[in-house]
Amino acid sequence: MKIVINGASTPEAVPGLIAIASETDLVCASDKEGLAEALPGADILLGWNFQSRDMRGQWHRADNLKWIHWCGAAVDRVMSPELRASDIILTNARGIFDSVMAEYVLGYMISELKLFRETWRLQDEKRWQTRLTGKLAGSRAVIFGVGSIGRETARLLRSVGVKVSGVGRRARGDDPDFGTIFGPDHALRAIEDADWVIGLLPLTKETTRYYGAKFFDAMKREARFMNLGRGESVDESALIACLEQGKIAGAMLDVFNNEPLDRNNPIWQAPNIVISPHTSSYYAEYEEDMANQFLDNFARFKERKPLENVIDKDIGFVPSER
């Protein structure tokens, strides 16, 4: 069985993968040229570099491919009309990044309400200045994206007293994690009195530039916007204008239209914004966890058992179980 590893120069770069070397042909493709050479005859593609776009223009070389495992939560980098039309199974790293991204959201919320940035500035200036801070419990958050990351975020926020609701593809009540999930037609109504608006949407045709001027205008002046989903979901010019006009209290972005973020991008200078370099999902052991998830699914593949985290290629993500 031939496994092509896209984004690694040696099999040893993927923790634990050498354990299946005796029963497989492990071929590394660290770049697009290497992938083009390796794809013919491959049974499985392991997308180790989940930021890679190397498969673009290479589908005609995938003459035997049965399964792609993408080591990221989002699969837009590998998704294509050719993949959608094929019988190739696509799986992702659903579940790996849930808790760390939920913690990232909570960290930003606490930092803003407790004025940590101002505290560090005053400390550097050696100034003793007592001031009032905010209270997180009792505030209201609306989460866009009710998959596994959104659900873990909802559970964590509820545990500290935040009132949480969600926005998904269909409306429903009495959800165990969100309470109420609003459908797309009521998304703007859902955020009218929200203190926190959290973007965790996957990138699809429907979610491209989803957060635009109309969206930000629907938020209240005291609210803050976060996006940890996909950068292309945000109209960055509209967000900059919104912040410059003081229409919302602030924003935190971990993903952007173009990465890495250019030094001359005006979003760096937007008021009341926190910028992080697409780091909300990274933690010390993430590579080991991604590799183990693939190996577990590989064992299923060998035994012809149903795979975990199968992407619905028509919608571009793993359908929610609820």
Same domain, 158 and 242: yes
Closest by CA to 168, choosing from 144, 199, 186, 149, is: 144
Same domain, yes or no: 105 and 206: yes
- Do residue 75 and residue 178 come from a single domain? no
Distance of CA 96 to the CA centre of its chain: 11
Same domain, 268 and 144: yes
Please tell me the predicted confidence (pLDDT) of residue 236: 98
Q: What's the pLDDT at 138?
A: 98
Whether the per-residue pLDDT at 290 is higher than 90: the answer is yes
Residue 171 and residue 32 share a domain: no
Shared-domain flag, residues 197 and 258: yes
| pLDDT above 70 coverage of the chain, percent | 99
pLDDT (tens digit per residue) in 214-224: 999 999 999 99
Model pLDDT for residues 145-173, shown as the tens digit of each residue:
999 999 999 999 999 999 999 999 999 99
Rounded Cα distance, 79 and 50, in Å: 12
- Cα separation of 322 and 307, whole Å? 19
Whether 104 and 182 share a structural domain: yes
What pTM was computed for the model? 0.93
Q: Does 18 fall in a domain?
A: yes
Q: Are residues 57 and 21 in the same domain?
A: yes
Q: Is 230 helix (H, G, I), strand (E, B) or coil?
A: coil
Q: How confident is the model at residue 321 (pLDDT cuts 50, 70, 90)?
A: low
Can you give the residue range of the structural domain that contains 55? Answer: 2-95+284-302
Which tens digit of pLDDT belongs to each residue from 171-194? 999 999 999 999 999 999 999 999
φ, ψ dihedrals at 226, nearest 5°: -125, 140
Whether residue 297 contacts residue 307, with contact meaning beta carbons closer than 8 Å, is answered with yes
* Cβ-based neighbour number of residue 264 at 10 Å: 7
Which residue do the tokens 């703007």 mark?
188
Distances (CA, A) of 238 to 139, 167, 216, 247, 322: 25, 21, 8, 11, 33
> 79 and 34 in one domain?
yes
Q: What pLDDT score does 320 carry?
A: 75
How many distinct structural domains can be found in the chain? 2
